[in-house]
Chain A
Amino acid sequence: MSAATQLYLATVSVYICVNVIASWALDIQFGVTGVLNFSFVVFQAAGAYTAAILSLGPSSSSGGFQRYVGGWRLPFPVPIIGAMVVGAVLAGVVGLVSLRRLRSDYQAMVMLVVSVIATIVAESQTGLVNGVAGISLVANPMVSLIHATRQTQIWIFVLFCVFCMALVGVVMYATVYSPFGRVLRAVRENDRAIEALGRNANRHRMQAFVIGGALAGLSGALLVEFIGAWAPNGWFYPETFVFFTAVIVGGRGSLTGVAVGAALVGVGVQQAVEYLPITLNPSVIASLEWIITGILTLVFLWTRPQGLLPERRRRFPTPWRSDAPELAERSAATKGDERG
């Protein structure tokens, strides 16, 4: 394989891993717990900026052509862990403000507004994360870690991304299909019922929000270490919508489904548009991607709101009833008519 093909394949692989992690992060917030987090991309951006600042060193070291707060040169896994911590803390702060006692649609609007505020602040306060130009020259950690050819270093980073995705997958399965995950789904389905059973719905929303924030930070950190740069025009508030489409197309609440959706929507649509047999103006290509994403969402919400691979409906036998299996069947049959 030529070097260019290898780089292309490696890039697509990293994008798939990053999108799958990010979509899982949104899935635990929106798919499992039912929080419409319209500021999702902000947490990814926060992770990316954190990882960049923690690995670039002080801003004077790069000749002063970019300015940002702080700046440390920390060894390999630390910037990524830092990104997760910042993502989680930021989610905690935003959650404290927006998840309190607001109506669900007001919550969504507050988060949308948070996303816009974050972009304006990042763009106008140039000393914070280098304004509109963004931060660049972030090094791939494998370059200093492993003595090998550039190709090998890139593939080792791809393997690391796959490893992270697998790890997140294991943690997500353990969380979502545990009793804790069941409570989260109950919050989504009926928060009043769960409060009547003595659970604090807001606290559980907050937990899901923070877990999602940490994973979003991780996805941003991996992406920035691979592509090397991060700027505000990569995380305008509509970008969040790509992850929503991924979750809806895949099947909200279903981990395998969301992974498939993330690969199809986050990477597949973009690649498909790139390979169109007609030559188009670059700005038209960008518009076309958005139009396709929007149409995909509408089509799926209309024809298959449960997604490609729907969340499994779990049935529990009630051992103290002799007619238990029949009862479960019957209640499942009546519930089958409901739309998600």
Chain B
Amino acid sequence: MGVLMSAIGFGIVTASILAVSSVGFTLQFSVTNVFNLSFGSVMTGTGFIAYALNTSGVSIWASMAIGALCGGVISVALNWLIFGRFIRHGISRFGMVIVTIATGLICDNTIQAFVGPTFYAYNAQPGKAFNLAGMLLTGQELIIIVIAAVMMTATHVGLKSTRLGAAMRGLSVNASLARACGVPTRRVVAVAWFASGVMAGIGSVALFLDTSTFAATTGSQFLIMVIAAAVLGGVGSAEGAVVGALVVGLATEITAAYWNPELKDVVAFVVLILVLLVRPQGMFSQLSSERTAVG
């Protein structure tokens, strides 16, 4: 029982990090219909901005907040410089996937060229450990869980009960109809990219704290897990992404505890493939596959 509870504890921490990241990924996808494979690079970039702040004396949580804002700016800049232009240029959906991969590779390797192949670690104390019903969690991990819970609630309320949220949902269902109804498409799209970048930033600092060391490739490696959680829930569905994150997080940590830590990611991916075989659209997605990209 002790092993199971502590595995569930780790699973909830992993799921919190995954949930923030994959909601950011999926929110931007649902509004713009761009499958953004450079999301991992935005994560790495913000992680290193937070590292620069952190090593110059800023506390880790303040670094996370500033890093997240920078992530939002980077994300909007990528859309303004590259993605939006390609979409208005009339690129196909296949082409857009390749554009985001190319952008991600360029960003990752630019970061790598500056920071080198070494590993980095934040200057932060994990804090006192708490025992919650057998789950051993550090103060740091509890703060991560609280941040994730607050972010999820804010996203849910924002999407369901603000005008901006309504505009986003409108764009995700039918972009041209939303535009015809007077939704300022470009502005809403920019907000979606900003929100996605902010969540990438929070997710990356939380991830790098959790893994304790990180390098220039950590963000893009984690992206595969983020995509697994988002696709599992059904891309474009924020609630689905949270459930997907929980499934992936718990599956990986329980595998690590009971079977083989090296294969924990494989189990998560196999779960993803099995779910897609039964429900090809993911668990919660209601989006049609006929939509076109919006930039």
Contact = CB atoms under 8 A, between A and B. Distances in A.
Interface stretch (B95-103, B129-137, B170-178): B95-103
Interface in A72-121: 97-98, 100-106, 108-110, 112-114, 116-117, 120-121
Given A117-B266, A117-B269, A283-B112, A97 B101 contact: no
Nearest to B107: A294
B273 to A, nearest CB: 6
B276 A340 contact: no
Interface string A57-79: 00000000000000000000000
Contacts of B109: 286-288, 290-291, 294
Could you say which interface size class chain A belongs to? 35 or more
B92 A340 contact: yes
Interface string A285-311: 011101101110110011001000000
Contact of A103 (B95, B98, B260, B289): B289
Given A110-B273, A281-B116, A121 B266 contact: yes
B106 A295 contact: yes
Contacts of B228: 113
A34 interface: yes
Contacts of B280: 100-103, 106
A305 B272 contact: no
A114 B270 CA distance: 9
Contact of A287 (B93, B113, B266): B113
The prevalent SS among residues of B at the interface is helix
Contacts of A97: 273, 277
A269 interface: no
B142 interface: no
A284 B97 CA distance: 26
A141 interface: no
Contact of A293 (B105, B276, B281): B105
A241 interface: yes
A337 B210 CA distance: 51
A120 B263 contact: yes
A36 B97 contact: yes
A106 B94 contact: no
B263 A109 contact: no
B9 to A, nearest CB: 24
Contacts of A34: 94
Could you say which interface size class chain B belongs to? 35 or more
Contact of A124 (B110, B116, B260, B289): B260
A336 to B, nearest CB: 14
Contact of A305 (B91, B108, B113): B91
Contact of B92 (A287, A298, A339): A339
Q: Which one of B276, B281, B282, B289 has the highest number of Cβ atoms from chain A below 10 Å of its Cβ?
A: B276
A283 B289 contact: no
Contact of B224 (A113, A286, A290): A113
A298 B82 contact: yes
Contacts of B86: 301-302
A103 B266 contact: no
A297 B260 contact: no
A248 interface: yes
A294 B82 CA distance: 13
Interface string A202-246: 000000000000000000000000000000000000100100110
Interface of A: 34, 36, 97-98, 100-106, 108-110, 112-114, 116-117, 120-121, 123-124, 238, 241, 244-245, 248, 281, 283-284, 286-288, 290-291, 293-295, 297-298, 301-302, 305, 339-340
Given A100-B280, A109-B35, 9 more contacts: A34-B94, A110-B272, A112-B227, A123-B262, A124-B260, A244-B101, A290-B106, A294-B106, A339-B92
Interface of B: 35, 82, 85-86, 89-95, 97-99, 101-103, 105-106, 108-110, 112-113, 116-117, 224, 227-228, 231, 235, 260, 262-263, 265-266, 269-270, 272-273, 276-277, 280-282, 289
26 contacts: A100-B280, A102-B276, A103-B280, A103-B281, A106-B235, A106-B280, A106-B282, A108-B35, A109-B35, A109-B227, A113-B224, A113-B272, A121-B266, A241-B105, A248-B98, A283-B116, A287-B110, A293-B105, A294-B103, A294-B106, A294-B109, A298-B82, A301-B91, A301-B95, A301-B99, A339-B90
Lowest 5 CB-CB distances: which A-B pairs, in order? Answer: A124-B262, A287-B109, A294-B106, A294-B102, A297-B102
